[in-house]
Structure 1
C-alpha cells in the first residue's frame, strides 16, 4: 500500500521510493526498521523531492525535516548529512532511468535510420534531465566541488549508457582501454554537458539561450555526433582501431 506521503509523486517514482526504502533494514543507530521506520524514511525522501522540485526554498536538512514534520533528531536517525540524503533521493530517481532512456539503447539501431534513433535517445535523456533538473544539477555542482560521493555517482550513472553505446558501435564487451569506449565516453561527456546547459535556466541565460531558443540547438548536434561515432565504429574505422 502506498504511503500517504508519496501520493504527490509520479507513480513510477513513488514505487521506486517505496522499493528503495524497503531495501534499507536498519537506521543509523542500528535499529531494525519496521513498517513505521520505512514510512518515516519515505516521508523524508518525499519531502526532499518536493523541496527539490520547488526552487523557492533552499534544500537543507532542516528544511527537509520541517517539510516532513519531523525533528532534526529523527532525521539524523536516517541521514548524517545532505549528500547522504541527496544520494538516497537519487537512488529511486535513477531507478526510473531504464524506462526513461536506457531501454532505447538495448536494441541495435538500423543503419538507415541511425540519426532518428540517436535523436530519440538524446531527446529522452534531455527529458529525464529536465524532469529531475534541480536534483541532477545539485549533484553535478557538488561533484564539481570534489564531493567524492557525488563524483562517484555522476560517473557511475553514465557507465550503463557508455556500455550500451559501445554495443551500438558493434562491440559485445566493454573494456576501459578500447578506442570504442573512449569514443563513447567522449560522446556522452559532450551530450551531458550540452544537456546541462539546455536544462539550466541560469546557464541558458549566460550563454544567450533565451526561452525562445529551442533545446534542439544542442540536441540535434549531439545526436549527429552520436550518429557519426556509431557509424565510424561500425565501419571499422582505422582511427578507432589504433
Structure 2
C-alpha cells in the first residue's frame, strides 16, 4: 500500500489535522524499543506504521493485527517490532494523535462560561460535536472500549484519561468547585458516562442491530436527551 511512496504519501488517506497530529506524536519519540536513537528515517517509518494502522482500523471490517499493519505499510514484522511490542501498544500510539484532535473537535466548545440563556444550545452543540468525533473514529474508539471492558489496564487508563478534560470543563461550567473535591465532579462524571454510553450506542452499527435501532433513526433521539441532562446538571449546580 505504501511501498515506493514519497515521505508524505503514507498520509494520503488521512485528514490533514490527523496527519499533522501523527507527525507531532512521532516527533516526540526519541528512541525505538531497541534503544536506538531515531533519525528522520526512523520517524518516517513510525509514521508509516501509524498511518497504515489508522487506515486499516477506520476503513476495514476485518480484525486488525500487527501482521496486517506491516503488510499495509510495506514493512517486515521486524520493523514493526522495533516500535511496538503488541497490538495494544500500537493502538495506544494510534490513539495519541487521534485524541490530540479532540481539542478542536469538541473540547474547545466547552471553553469559557456558557451564558444561562444559551445553555441548551451550547450543550447540544457539544454533544453533537462529541458524537461527530466518535463517528469519525468509531472503530478505533470501540476497540479501545472493548479492551477496557476486558480489563486491559492500559486501555482502562487511557479511557479514564480521555474523559478527564471533559469532566473538568463541565465542572467549571457548573461553578468554581475544584475538580475532584465535591458534588459537581460527581455530577459531571455521571453526565459524561451517560453521554459516552449513548454515543457508543448510536455509533456502533452491530450494537444498533442487536438492540433494534433502525439505520435511518436520527441520532437526535439520544443526543437531545443527553444535551438536556447536561443542561439540567449545569443549571442546577449554578443555582446552588
Q: Which residue number in structure 1 is paired with residue 206 of structure 2?
A: 202
What does residue 240 of structure 1 align with?
none
Residues 164-173 or 39-48, more deviating: 164-173
SS in 2 for 1:14: helix
Q: Quick one: distance in 2 between partners of 1:208 and 1:123?
A: 22
Q: Distance in 2 between matches of 1:182 and 1:56?
A: 37
CA contact (8 A) 1:122 1:219 kept: yes
Q: Which of 156, 181, 188 is residue 184 of structure 1 equivalent to?
A: 188
Instruction: Specify which of 219, 224, 232 is matched with residue 223 of structure 2.
Output: 219
Q: CA deviation at 1:202?
A: 0.8
**Is the 1:183–1:229 Cα contact (8 Å) retained in structure 2?**
yes
CA positional deviation for 1:29? 0.2
Q: Deviations over 1:34-68 (max 9, x none)?
A: 00000000000000001001123320000000101
Quote the offset at 1:8 in angstroms. 1.9
Gapped regions of structure 2 (runs ≥ 5): 1-5
Deviation at 1:3, TM superposition (A): 2.4
| 1:148/1:110 CA distance change after superposition, 3 Å | same
Supply the distance in 2 between the matched residues of 1:2 and 1:216 (Cα, whole angstroms): 42
CA displacement, residues 100-130 of structure 1 (integer Å, 9 cap, x when unaligned): 0000001111111211110000000000000
- Matched residue, 2:3: none
Q: TM-score, normalised by structure 2?
A: 0.96
Shift of 1:84: 0.3
- TM normalised by structure 1 equals 0.95
Q: Check the 8 A contact 1:13/1:96 in 2, yes or no.
A: yes
Distance in 2 between residues matched to 1:223 and 1:89, nearest whole Å: 29
Q: Which runs of 5+ in 1 are unaligned?
A: 237-242
1:38 to 37, 40, 43: 43
* CA–CA separation in structure 2 for the residues paired with 1:106 and 1:228: 19
Q: Does the CA-based 8 Å contact 2:173-2:234 persist in structure 1?
A: yes
Q: Distance in 2 between matches of 1:173 and 1:39?
A: 42
Q: Distance in 2 between matches of 1:122 and 1:154?
A: 18
Runs of 4+ off more than 4 Å: none
Is the partner of 1:115 in helix, strand or coil? helix
SS in 2 for 1:195: helix
Q: Does 1:29 align with 2:34?
A: yes
Aligned mates of 2:99, 2:38 — CA distance in 1: 24
Q: Name 2:118's counterpart in structure 1.
A: 113
Distance 2:91 2:43 in 1: 17
- Within the candidate set 97, 100, 105, 1:95 is matched to 100
Deviation, 1:178, is 0.7
RMSD of equivalent CA atoms: 1.1
State how many pairs are aligned. Answer: 235
